[in-house]
Amino acid sequence: MALMDFFRKKSSGDVAKDRLKLLLISDRANCSPEMMELIKNDIIKVISKYMEIDCEGLDIQITQTESEGENGHVPALCANIPIKDMKHGVKD
């Protein structure tokens, strides 16, 4: 049995817990999909000034991260931005 467990993927209880954690972070942050879209567009605008990025592959979401100081976990805005080309020097 233990050997079977070892080879098995994540248990459904753990899957439920992880899904809930993410769900509650965005519930508690009260962040609507529209607002996330606005944030995403603004980030694209800012980053594009300095480098060429893959707008299609860009992904942002609210997750949880270990805080440096006191009480454990805090919500974090996590952005994954694939870079196509580094521009050297800033264009105006």
| Residue nearer to another protein on the CB measure, 19 or 87 | 19
Relative to beta strand 73-80, strand 59-66 is: antiparallel
CA–CA gap between residue 18 and residue 64 (Å, rounded): 11
Question: Which of 2, 6, 13, 66 is close enough to bind another protein by CB under 8 A?
Answer: 13
Does the footprint of another protein cover residue 67 (CB under 8 A)?
no
Is 11 an interacting residue with respect to another protein (CB under 8 A)?
A: yes
Is 12 near another protein (CB under 8 A)? yes
Q: Which residues of 4-15 are buried (b: 16+ CB within 10 A; e: fewer)?
A: eeeeeeeeeeee
* Binding window for another protein (CB under 8 A); candidates: 15-23, 44-52, 61-69, 78-86: 15-23
The answer to whether the CB of 77 falls within 8 A of the CB of 66 is no
Binders of another protein: how many residues, by CB under 8 A?
14
Main-chain dihedrals φ then ψ at residue 31, nearest 5 degrees: -105, 115
- Residue ranges in contact with another protein by CB under 8 A: 5, 11-14, 16-17, 19-21, 23-24, 27-28
